[in-house]
């Protein structure tokens, strides 16, 4: 075999391995390689990590995961009782002490409280290393049916509140010349989806903002990570917005649904943080494959979406709950 054939076989083998990995995996290739060869999450030991939306779902699992990695935690959400239970579980598991977990109940829609809340955290820990903007609410309603009131509320919690909290923390990061902003975006932050119009709008907006922030903060040694999960088990459909401002969806996810566990999602987020990755995709198939198709062949992906999306549109028209099994 001559040297040219050798190199060719090597490259073809690498390509085949990448394809196989892609099909078997639940995250993008960069995150997969970081999980195997990158910094271990143990490198986060001692970091002060502020997680919003820590009272359930992905945020709760991330709290357990980062506590196991030796992080000191600030846990925020509105349900203080749930946060206290999570803190106790972590302490009972021997992962942390009373002083290393600070509970900070907050309604993130009260934007004016953000600067004083940051000061409260700094008084306790004297620093913040990583801010994980995870709190958010999903949505299920057709654009034609969704009142402006709901559109506004979706954007306030998913876009304006993380934007405001990040801006309140930035002066501290800039002064220290160190910091890391993480945001739980969504596959819907990359691709539009029927029945999720305002939600997709809120997550797409943050993607643009985070990309701008990353460039502006580059010389300040401040990192920005956007996490795009696909379907994950959580309380998201219980609290999701509908086409009525005073009604949440109230659907409990069926364990037989094709979704990633919040524990696996949190584990991959921890890897993304430890390796300071810019943007990561964390999802089962077919959403993960569709993200690749959308990224590299957007025209084809949009045509496919128009055809296959119609079934979902009619399900949403028939009543949003027909999309989901109720328990
Ligand atoms: N589950 C999925 O399939 C999926 C997929 C992609 C992206 N995501 C994103 O992942 C993030 C976490 O969602 P999840 O799936 O884990 O849902 P979840 O279990 O419903 O968690 C949402 C969290 O946000 C908090 N929150 C909501 N409104 C708040 C407010 N006004 N002030 C303070 N905290 C508030 C909730 O706490 P309180 O109610 O106690 O305030 C809760 O801790 C969200 O940003 C969501 O968009 C989820």
pLDDT, tens only, 74-100 = 999 999 999 999 999 999 999 999 999
CATH superfamily of this structure's domain 29-323: NAD(P)-binding Rossmann-like Domain (3.40.50.720)
Residue nearest to atom 46 of ligand 1 (CA): 136
> Which tokens in the block code for residue 170?
């930035």
pLDDT, tens only, 113-168 = 999 999 999 999 999 999 999 999 999 999 999 999 999 999 999 999 999 999 99
pLDDT, tens only, 40-85 = 999 999 999 999 999 999 999 999 999 999 999 999 999 999 999 9
> Which tokens in the block code for residue 51?
């997680």
> CA 183, 185, 187 angle in degrees (round to 5)?
155
Backbone angles phi, psi at 181, to 5 degrees: -105, 125
Q: How many CB atoms lie within 10 A of CB 88?
A: 12
Which atom of ligand 1 is closest in space to residue 185's alpha carbon? Answer: 7
In which element (H, E) is residue 104 found? strand 101-105
Using CB distances shorter than 6 Å, the residues near ligand 1 are 52-59, 77-79, 106-109, 134-138, 157, 184, 186, 229, 231-232, 234-236, 239
pLDDT, tens only, 290-318 = 999 999 999 999 999 999 899 888 888 87
Gap from CA of 238 to ligand 1 centroid (Å): 10
Gap from CA of 232 to ligand 1 centroid (Å): 11
Q: What Å distances lie between residue 131 and 127, 183, 257, 300, 312, CA to CA?
A: 11, 8, 31, 37, 35
Helices (H), the chain: 3-24, 29-37, 57-68, 80-92, 114-125, 148-155, 161-176, 197-217, 236-239, 262-274, 287-296, 298-318
Gap from CA of 37 to ligand 1 centroid (Å): 31
d(CA 239, CA 153): 13
> Can you say whether the dihedral through the CA atoms of 139, 140, 143, 144 is positive or negative?
negative
pTM: 0.95
Backbone angles phi, psi at 179, to 5 degrees: 165, 165
Residue nearest to atom 43 of ligand 1 (CA): 53
**CB-hemisphere CA count at 13 Å for 155?**
11
């Amino acid at each position: 075999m001559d040297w040219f054939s050798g190199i060719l076989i090597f490259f073809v083998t690498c390509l085949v391995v990448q394809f196989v990995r892609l099909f078997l995996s639940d995250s993008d290739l960069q995150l997969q390689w970081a999980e195997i060869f990158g910094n271990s999450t143990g490198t986060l030991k001692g970091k002060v990590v502020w997680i919003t939306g820590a009272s359930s779902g992905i945020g709760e699992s991330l709290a357990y995961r980062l506590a196991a990695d030796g992080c000191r935690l600030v846990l925020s959400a509105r349900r203080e009782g749930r946060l206290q239970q999570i803190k106790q579980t972590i302490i009972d598991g021997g992962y942390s002490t009373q002083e290393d977990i600070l509970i900070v109940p907050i309604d993130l829609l009260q934007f004016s409280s953000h600067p004083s809340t940051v000061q409260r955290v700094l008084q306790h820990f004297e620093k913040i290393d990583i801010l994980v903007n995870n709190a958010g609410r999903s949505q299920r309603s057709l654009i034609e049916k969704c009142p402006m009131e709901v559109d506004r509320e979706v954007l306030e919690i998913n876009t304006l509140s993380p934007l405001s909290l990040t801006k309140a923390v930035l002066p501290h990061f800039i002064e220290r010349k160190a910091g890391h902003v993480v945001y739980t975006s969504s596959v819907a932050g990359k691709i539009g989806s029927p029945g999720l119009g305002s939600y997709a709008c809120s997550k797409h907006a943050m993607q643009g903002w985070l990309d701008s922030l990353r460039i502006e903060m580059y010389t300040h040694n401040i990192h920005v990570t956007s996490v795009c999960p696909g379907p994950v088990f959580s309380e998201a459909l219980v609290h999701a917005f509908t086409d009525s401002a005073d009604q949440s969806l109230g659907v409990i996810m069926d364990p037989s649904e094709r979704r990633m566990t919040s524990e696996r999602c949190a584990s991959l987020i921890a890897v993304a943080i430890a390796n300071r990755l810019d943007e990561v995709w964390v999802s089962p198939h077919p959403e993960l494959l569709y993200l690749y198709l959308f990224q590299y062949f957007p025209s084809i992906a949009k045509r496919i979406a128009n055809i296959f999306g119609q079934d979902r549109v009619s399900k949403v028209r028939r009543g949003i709950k027909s999309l989901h099994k109720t328990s």
